[in-house]
């Protein structure tokens, strides 16, 4: 992982993989192995068309990922929410899932 070499202060991961692949959760868990780098996950419509409710699917994947923050990139205020999430995570606050 490039993040191990660069040692970032924060990682923002935009998930564009379908949830059933499992790669998104695996990538998040790998990045959470960097204790000094909080992780904020962006997701959008990846969960549309899943067998379960899209919001519930997103909530489940967020919980499994171990991410410190989560932002729905399909919201009209996504940029504002991302800036807010970054500030809160850097301040040491773990953000609950908010759809």
Domains and CATH numbers, the chain: 2-90 (3.40.50.2300)
Q: What pLDDT was estimated at residue 99?
A: 53
Mean pLDDT, the chain, as a whole number?
74
pTM of the model: 0.70
Q: What pLDDT was estimated at residue 83?
A: 93
What pLDDT digit, counting tens, does each position of 33-81 carry? 666 778 777 777 665 555 566 677 777 767 777 788 888 887 889 899 8
Strand-strand pairing, 69-72 and 11-14: unpaired
pLDDT at 87 over 90: yes
Q: Which of 19-28, 75-84, 85-94 has the lowest mean pLDDT?
A: 19-28
Cβ burial 53-84 (10 Å sphere, 16+ → b, else e): ebeebbbbbbeebebbbbbbbeeeeeeebbee
């Amino acid at each position: 992982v490039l993040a191990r070499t660069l040692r970032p202060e924060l990682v923002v991961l935009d998930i564009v993989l379908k949830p059933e692949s499992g790669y998104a959760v695996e990538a998040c868990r790998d990045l959470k192995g960097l204790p000094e780098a909080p992780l904020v996950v962006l997701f959008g419509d990846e969960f549309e068309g899943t067998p379960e409710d899209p919001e519930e699917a997103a909530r489940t994947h967020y919980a499994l990922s171990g991410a410190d923050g989560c932002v729905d990139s399909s919201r009209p205020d996504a940029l504002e929410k991302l800036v807010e999430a970054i500030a809160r995570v850097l301040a040491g606050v773990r953000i609950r899932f908010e759809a």
